[in-house]
Structure 1
């Protein structure tokens, strides 16, 4: 049988995120024949991501590692290196700071996000390689694959999944896999 025109892709190493029809901040995440509802940026998607724009980058982003609230979630299994979150763990989102789009520790005066959030979004938080391997100021920071707010409310630019669905995917996620937003 001849290959169809265009590039053949192996999606077993890739999570694909497509915007849901008619909903700019909702998406469908597909992996190995499974489809999950997801939340994306409050302002939809973009190929020209900028810090604070509320958009999810249209890109292929490698999975690097992640964080977990071990005080809230027990027996979470994943081949990923999931670091247990503690109160001093922060993520710098100040474009003019030398630690922009990097983990930092409290106390930290520049603009940042707390990784030990009270709202549960980062109880499981997978770090995606968006503007990390090669950084550019104002290109966006803290683009993660994390948990959703109730009702799949929009994210600030990340991809969000329900706890149940994230726990179903975690055993399959490996460093270097790709999350592809199209």
Structure 2
């Protein structure tokens, strides 16, 4: 482990000497081998942060490598889609999530390498770090933070930052 790793447990997250409250999936933290699409669980293990997206109408870029989302941006969560667990352009003929939402959940997204880039169908998609709905409210499997905390983290992560999820 390095100081640049984000370590998440059921109790919260640690990063650069600070502790942050966070939310995990409604299904709890499960062994990575047991993770399935739609189970609401957060997979344990070490995951690289492979991208950062932000809503350009709501935020300035938190890092020089962050990319803006577009109204046509989506993320496939359909196991039958050849683009499963990849960013897609909307409209899209398979089930997907919109990356620009009316609520602030995806105003800032840190993308992990969970089941990416060669996704195994049904193993789970889109394990993101994003803004929570409200404190400790469970996610669909992602890790969520208060907006101010997520921004603080996003401004300090490095290309070598990993998300380490422990049961």
Q: Same fold (TM over 0.5)?
A: yes
Higher relative contact order (CA 8 A, sep 6+): 2
Matched residue, 2:109: 125
CA–CA distance in 1 between the matches of 2:23 and 2:35?
17
Matched residue, 1:77: 62
Matched residue, 1:89: 73
TM-aligned CA deviation for residue 156 of structure 1:
0.3
Q: CA RMSD in A?
A: 1.2
Q: How does 1:168-179 map to 2 (within 5 A)?
A: 168-179=152-163
Deviates more, 1:46-55 or 1:164-173: 164-173
Q: Secondary structure at the match of 1:62?
A: strand
Q: How does 1:11-26 map to 2 (within 5 A)?
A: 11-20=2-11
CA–CA distance in 2 between the matches of 1:180 and 1:33?
15
Alignment length (residue pairs)? 164
CA contact (8 A) 1:61 1:180 kept: yes
Q: Secondary structure at the match of 1:125?
A: strand
TM-score, with structure 1 as normaliser = 0.86
TM-score, with structure 2 as normaliser = 0.93
- Where do 4+ consecutive residues of structure 1 move more than 4 Å? none
Q: How does 1:90-105 map to 2 (within 5 A)?
A: 90-105=74-89
After superposition, the C-alpha distances for 1:32-73 in whole angstroms (9 at most, x for unaligned) are: 220000000011111111000000001110000121011012
CA contact (8 A) 1:65 1:175 kept: no
TM-aligned CA deviation for residue 108 of structure 1:
0.5
Matched residue, 1:146: 130
Gaps of at least 5 residues in structure 1 are 1-8, 21-27
